[in-house]
Amino acid sequence: MPNTPNERTETPLQKAKRLYSAIFVDSVYDEGSTLIEAIKNREGELYMFHDWLSLEHKIYGFQPSTVSTISTTLKKDNVKKDDDEISADGARLLPRAETLYTYGTIFIDIFDLQTIQKIEKKYTPFILHEINSYLKQEPQTSIASLPYANCEWDLYFLYYKNNNYRTEPFIGKAHLIVNGYNNVKLLNASMSPDEDYTIGRLIDLYGSGSTILSFDLQCEHSARNLHIKLYIDEPTQEIAIGEYISTESRHIQAGRIVFHNRQSNMVSPLPCGYYSFRDKEKFTQIHPQIRKFLTIRAYNFLILPKDISKLDNLNHPVNDDELISNYLHYAKNALFLERVLPEVWISAPVSGSNPNLDVWRKFEVDLQRNFLNTKGEKTIFIRFMDHISKKNTLERYYADIERLKSKRVFILLNEKTDKVSYSYLQWGIASIHCKRVLIVTRYEDISPRIRHLASIDTSLKVIFYDVINMEDLNNPKLDPSATLHSKWEDVILPQLVEEIKDFIPKYIDGNMKIL
């Protein structure tokens, strides 16, 4: 290794100039290449050498991902005229540049020279012992024999734009390319090359059969990194499920990923990007099974809070009505990924015991008639739930509850009843999970507390079909003869249609804009 100037007499800028020249300018290697060019030509072995230094011998700082940063900064400082000045970034990177130079030179010598004797004069006995130990390791398996060395997947995941976790989610699509276990790249959904993960590697944790793959990826132009693990049986399988953890604007977030093999016949032609139900043409090009799998936020996306530093902060009681209203409105928007056909669920407390269920199903038909296109096709999906019957089992009840978690609108048609109904349980669940809850009822059939809740929760709307005049909210003028059936066509149906239109996109004759 060439002699270096005495560090006591060498200024920081002089050191920067020397290192820049030694790493990026001097052509002293094969075919006139510089040190950095020689390192990059051995990219596959470079990651193995990095692991050997850091994991086996606790020597840190030899990071391939910092090469471009060091190059740019040292080059900037190298052209300065004043030999006494160096930028703050340059000073900060000097120790890393020194590490890159020292161990980069060792790295090139290891793979250029056939015998250890040729480098005995250049390194201390300790370094020689470490290098010799490394050279005696078992040869690495050839890339051609590694089953996942040449694979490509489309990745699908739930995503919140601009780190706004209270708005409607999108499906993100990215492209993962494996050209060797130490050559893994991810083309990000953002479509910006600066946000691609161009430095990465793959570890096959079990090596054969059903296994777990572990990916570590780094952005070349930023501090962003991404870690992914997935279960997989074989390289050719159509779908695999993984989980990621990443950093986004100083937040730690995690979630599930669908890996779709690029060799599959069902691969979508969509480019990398973010897609939602409001852009139907593109959204429907994502396979419906993938959209369904990624629907529920609670199953597919997690962001860790970063403002908790004391035990007392683990739970924040909410007391202010306005704060509750804002929370309910925005949090519900983020609960699940919308379907192309928004879904409306209708329930009624007496539907199961009513001997004439056709009367209740007429409400579904009347409402659906208002949401058909010119071809007579449904633009939203409306379903009336006959939820009490001898065929229903406990599993059916829980399945109903699970399905409620992705319904855009829940409608409770409430007539006074002296029985506790399953519909009320559904209403409670819908109040948490559905984005809009509409209660159709007589004024006196719900408590003052529910009426107050409707006044502060923007996701809850109560339609009183027996109210004639609401000038006095606490004592309105009522029509005692009004029934749900008698007021359906003139009073209830028009209001339900208008409320639903406010929650569906314009491409199906609603009032919501395309994002």
Q: 230 forms bridges with which residues in the sheet?
A: 213, 242
Number of neighbouring beta carbons within 10 Å of residue 495: 14
Biggest alpha carbon–alpha carbon distance for the chain: 106
Q: Provide the pLDDT for residue 69.
A: 66
Q: Provide the pLDDT for residue 432.
A: 80
Rounded to whole angstroms, how far apart are CA atoms 152 and 481?
67
Q: Provide the pLDDT for residue 172.
A: 92
Q: Is 136 helix (H, G, I), strand (E, B) or coil?
A: coil
Phi, psi of 316 (to 5 degrees): -110, 105
444-456 burial by CB neighbour count: b if 16+ within 10 A, else e? eebeeeeeebbee
| Residue 463, H or E segment | strand 460-464
Rounded to whole angstroms, how far apart are CA atoms 212 and 90?
40
At 201, the amino acid letter reads R
Rounded to whole angstroms, how far apart are CA atoms 230 and 236?
14
Q: Provide the pLDDT for residue 260.
A: 95
Q: Provide the pLDDT for residue 237.
A: 92
Computed over its alpha carbons, how large is the radius of gyration of the chain?
32
Task: Kindly give, in sequence order, each residue whose CB lies less than 8 Å from that of residue 273, ignoring residues fewer than 6 positions away.
Answer: 172, 173, 189, 191, 282
| Residue 21, H or E segment | none
Rounded to whole angstroms, how far apart are CA atoms 165 and 81?
49
Closest listed residue to residue 301, CA positions, set 200, 161, 206:
161
412 contacts 327 by C-beta, under 8 angstroms: no
Q: Is 123 helix (H, G, I), strand (E, B) or coil?
A: coil
Side-chain half-sphere exposure of 336, counting CA atoms within 13 A = 24
At 392, the amino acid letter reads N
Q: Calculate helix-pair angle for 88-112, 43-51, nearest 10 degrees.
A: 100
Q: Rounded to whole angstroms, what are the CA distances from 230 to 7, 173, 204, 245, 301?
A: 48, 17, 10, 12, 16
Residue 326, both tokens: 């804002």
Write the DSSP string, 159-212.
Answer: E-GGG-TTS--EEEEEEEEESSTT-EEEE-TT--GGGSB-EEEEEESS-SSSEE
Query: 10-residue block means of pLDDT along the chain (515 residues)?
Result: 52 78 75 77 67 61 62 63 63 73 74 44 53 49 63 92 77 90 83 77 78 87 84 91 86 91 82 85 89 87 78 63 51 72 82 58 85 80 67 73 83 79 84 86 86 80 85 77 87 89 72 56
In this structure, the dihedral spanned by the alpha carbons of residues 117, 109, 130 and 116, taken in order and rounded to 10 degrees, is -20
Rounded to whole angstroms, how far apart are CA atoms 134 and 250?
38
* 381-384 and 343-347 beta bridge pairing: parallel
Closest listed residue to residue 252, CA positions, set 216, 301, 215:
301
At 151, the amino acid letter reads C
Closest listed residue to residue 466, CA positions, set 485, 451, 480, 452:
480
Number of neighbouring beta carbons within 10 Å of residue 352: 18
Rounded to whole angstroms, how far apart are CA atoms 67 and 453?
59
The pTM is what?
Answer: 0.63
Query: Which region holds residue 249: left if phi is over 0, alpha if psi is between -120 and 50, else beta?
Result: left
Rounded to whole angstroms, how far apart are CA atoms 94 and 252?
30
Q: Provide the pLDDT for residue 117.
A: 44
454 contacts 470 by C-beta, under 8 angstroms: no
Rounded to whole angstroms, how far apart are CA atoms 231 and 237?
11
* 460-464 and 436-441 beta bridge pairing: parallel
Rounded to whole angstroms, how far apart are CA atoms 43 and 36?
11
Number of neighbouring beta carbons within 10 Å of residue 257: 23
User: In residues, how long is the chain?
Assistant: 515
Residue 130, both tokens: 């470490």
Task: Kindly give, in sequence order, each residue whose CB lies less than 8 Å from that of residue 101, ignoring residues fewer than 6 positions away.
Answer: 19, 22, 23, 35
